[in-house]
Structure 1
Amino acid sequence: MAAATTPLNVPEGRRARGRLQLLLILLVVLGPMVLATCMYKLNFWVPDGRSYHGEMIGTGQGRADIGIDGQDQRWQLLVSAPEACAADCQQLVYLARQIQIGLGRDASRASHALAAAQPLDADYQALLAREYPQLQHYGLDAQRYRQGVSAPGPQLWIVDPHGNLVLRYDTKANGKQVLDDLRHLLKLSNIG
C-alpha cells in the first residue's frame, strides 16, 4: 500500500512571504507587458518627440496600395508623380539620387526610382537616361494613387525592402533630413 503524503507543515508567515514573492515575480514579468499594451491601446503616456523628419506611414501600405507597380529588394527612394513630372518632381528625382550618393558605403543598400502616371517629356527622358542610369522607372495608376494618398502633387517616399511605405516627404523636403532618416533606418535594419 502506498504511503499517504502529509501536507507540509509550513508556518503561516513563510507561506505569506512565499505568496508575496510569487506576486512580485509575476508583477515584474507581466507588469511591463500590460503597461505597454495599455499605452498602445489607450494612447496615453506616449512621448511627443520623434527622431524622423518625414510623415510616418503607419498604415501598412505598400507600393501596390497606392498604384505603383514595381519591386526592389533594397531600401528605395521613390518619387511619385501623379501628374506630369514638372520642375518640382524633377527636383525630387535629383534629390533622391543625391541622397543615395550621400549614403556613401551604404549606397548599395538603397536605390532610387520614379513612378509617373504620364509619359515623360522626351528631353527629360533623354536626360534621365544619360545622367541617371540607375534610376528605375515604374508605372503609376493615378486613380489608385489619389485614393491612397491624401497629399497632392509629387512625393518622395522611403520604401523598405518588402515594399512597405515608411516615410513620406513633400516637394519642400530637406535633403539632409531625408538622408539622416534613411541612414537611421539602414542602421536599425538587418534587411536590404
Structure 2
Amino acid sequence: MNSQPKRSNKTLIILLVVFVLPVALAKLVLSLDLYHGGATNKGALLNTELTYSALNMVNPKPHLWQMVYLLPEKCGEQCMDRLYVINQSHIALGRDRDRVSPIILLQNNSDLDALKQLHIQFETAPSNAQIAALLTQQQMIIIDPLGSLVMQYDGVSGREASIAQGKSMIADLRKMLKLSRVG
C-alpha cells in the first residue's frame, strides 16, 4: 500500500498566528483607546480658525512669528515673571531672533508701570475685547506669520515654573521655525 503521511495543519496555524494575531491585537488596542500617540509639543495647540482677522484685530507684525502676552490691569509677580520669560525666550532664540517678535498687547487699563520697571523695550499693540477675552488667565500665545494663533501656554505660578515653561516655548518655537516656510 502506498500511504501518504497526513499533512499537518501546524504550518497553516503558525502562519495565521504570525500574520493575523498582530493585526487583531492592534485593532483591539486602538478600539479600546489604550494607545495615546506621542506629542512633541509642550504647549496646547489652538483651533485653526483663530486668527487675527477672525478676532477683528490688525496683525501688528505681519510676516513675523509672534510671542504675544496681554498685559493685565494689575501686573503682579506672575505677570512680571511672564514678561521676563518672554524677553529671555526671545534672546535665547539666537539666530532665529529676527524671525520672532515679542508683542505685549495693551488695553485701556493695562499696567504700563510694569513695563517701565523692567527696563525692557517691548513691542506693544492695542488689543480688542475679543482677544482680551481669550487671554484672561495670563496665557502666552505663539502666532504664525500669517496671523493664525497656533499655540497657547497657560499661566503658571512661580519663577521656576515660568522659566521651565519658557524653555518649553523655545523648544516648540524652534521646531516651528525649522519647519516653517513663511516668516
TM-score relative to the length of structure 1: 0.64
Q: Pick the aligned partner of 1:164 from 144, 148, 163.
A: 148
Partner residue, 1:177: 168
State yes or no: 1:49 paired with 2:33.
no
C-alpha deviation, 1:96, in angstroms: 1.1
Q: Pick the aligned partner of 1:112 from 87, 102, 117.
A: 102
When residues 48 and 118 of structure 1 are mapped into structure 2, their CA distance, relative to the original with a 3 A threshold, is farther
Q: Pick the aligned partner of 2:83 from 68, 77, 93.
A: 93
Partner residue, 2:116: 126
C-alpha distance in structure 2 between counterparts of 1:152 and 1:121, whole Å: 15
State yes or no: 1:61 paired with 2:50.
yes
Runs (4+) of structure 1 exceeding 4 A deviation are: 66-69
Secondary structure of residue in 1 paired with 2:84: helix
- Aligned residue type for 2:120: Y
- Aligned residue type for 2:129: A
Deviation track 1:50-81 (CA, whole Å, cap 9, x = no partner) reads: 11011101332113544654421211110124
Contact 1:84 1:117 in 2 (8 A): no
C-alpha distance in structure 2 between counterparts of 1:102 and 1:138, whole Å: 23
TM-score relative to the length of structure 2: 0.66
C-alpha distance in structure 1 between counterparts of 2:109 and 2:83, whole Å: 15
Let me know the Cα RMSD of the aligned residues. Answer: 2.7
When residues 144 and 99 of structure 1 are mapped into structure 2, their CA distance, relative to the original with a 3 A threshold, is closer
- Aligned residue type for 1:126: K
Show structure 2 runs of 5+ residues with no match. 1-32, 157-161
Secondary structure of residue in 1 paired with 2:147: coil
How many aligned residue pairs are there? Answer: 143
When residues 77 and 144 of structure 1 are mapped into structure 2, their CA distance, relative to the original with a 3 A threshold, is closer
Contact 2:60 2:125 in 1 (8 A): no
Percent identity, please.
Answer: 30
- Aligned residue type for 1:136: E
When residues 114 and 176 of structure 1 are mapped into structure 2, their CA distance, relative to the original with a 3 A threshold, is same
C-alpha deviation, 1:104, in angstroms: 0.7
Secondary structure of residue in 1 paired with 2:98: helix
